[in-house]
Amino acid sequence: MLHSQDILVNWTPQETRVAIIESGAVQELHVERTLERGLVGNVYVGKVVRVLPGMQSAFIDIGLDRAAFLHVADLHRDATNHKPGRHGDGQVPIEKRVHEGQALMVQVIKDPIGTKGARLSTQISVAGRLLVFLPQDDHIGISQKIGSPELRDALRSRMLALLGEADNREGRTRSGGFILRTNAEDATDDELAGDIAYLRKTWGAIREQGLKSPPGTLLYQELNLAQRVLRDLVNERVQSIRIDSALQFDTLKAFGDTYTPTAVARLALYKGERPIFDLYNVDTEIQRALARRVDLKSGGYLIVDQTEALTTVDVNTGGYVGARNFDETIYKTNLEAAQAIARQLRLRNLGGIIIIDFIDMQREEHREHVLSELRKQLQRDRTKVTVSGFSSLGLVEMTRKRTRESLAHMLCEPCPTCEGRGQVRTARTVCYDILREILREARQFSPREFRVVASATVVEMLLDEESAHLAGLSDFIGKPISLQAEPTMSPEQYDIVLL
Convert the pLDDT of each residue in 12-25 to its tens digit: 999 999 999 998 89
Q: In the chain, where does the domain assigned CATH 2.40.50.140 lie?
A: 43-220
pLDDT at 1: 56
Confidence of residue 167 (pLDDT cuts 50, 70, 90): low
**pLDDT at residue 166, rounded to an integer:** 65
Strand-strand pairing, 25-33 and 494-498? unpaired
Chain center to CA of 206: 27
Residue 125 pLDDT greater than 80, yes or no:
yes
Category of 494 on φ-ψ map: left (φ > 0), alpha (ψ -120 to 50) or beta: beta
Angle (CA) 9 33 260, round 5°: 45
**Per-residue pLDDT, 323:** 53
Kindly tell me if the per-residue pLDDT of 313 is higher than 60. Answer: yes
Question: Fold for domain 291-407?
Answer: Aminopeptidase (3.40.630)
Helix axes 467-477 and 427-444, enclosed angle (nearest 10): 0
| Summary mean pLDDT of the chain | 89
Name which of 225, 219, 264, 272 is nearest 244 in CA terms: 272
Least confident range from 32-46, 82-96, 256-270, 412-426: namely 82-96
Using a pLDDT cut of 70, give the percent of the chain over it.
94
Q: Three-state DSSP class for 69?
A: strand
Task: Name the pLDDT band for 83 (thresholds 50, 70, 90).
Answer: very low
User: What is the rounded distance in angstroms from the CA atom of residue 119 to the CA atom of residue 129?
Assistant: 24
Q: What is the CATH code for 427-498?
A: 3.40.1260.20
Q: For residues 333-354, give the mean pLDDT.
A: 94
> Does residue 106 register a pLDDT over 60?
yes
Distances from the Cα of 80 to the Cα of 52, 98, 209, angstroms: 17, 7, 19
Please state, in angstroms and rounded to a whole number, the distance separating the CA atoms of residues 103 and 49: 10
Region 456-478: what's the mean pLDDT? Answer: 94
Answering whether pTM is above 0.85, one says no
Strands 218-220 and 238-243: unpaired
Per-residue model confidence (pLDDT) at position 91: 66
Which band of pLDDT confidence, cut at 50, 70 and 90, is reported for residue 3?
Answer: confident
Angle at 424 between CA 418 and CA 428, to 5 degrees: 145
| Domain 43-220 fold | OB fold (Dihydrolipoamide Acetyltransferase, E2P) (2.40.50)
Q: 107, 42 in Cβ contact below 8 A?
A: yes
Q: What was the pLDDT predicted at 86?
A: 41
- Give residue 171's pLDDT: 54
Give the closest residue to 15 by CA, choosing from 245, 183, 203, 176: 245
Report the CATH fold assignment for 5-36+223-283: Nucleotidyltransferase; domain 5 (3.30.420)
Whether pLDDT at 349 is above 50: yes
What pLDDT does residue 226 have? Answer: 93
Average pLDDT (174-186) is: 82
DSSP 116: B
Q: What ranges in 303-455 are assigned the alpha helix state H?
A: 326-348, 364-378, 407-411, 427-444
Residue 457 pLDDT more than 60?
yes
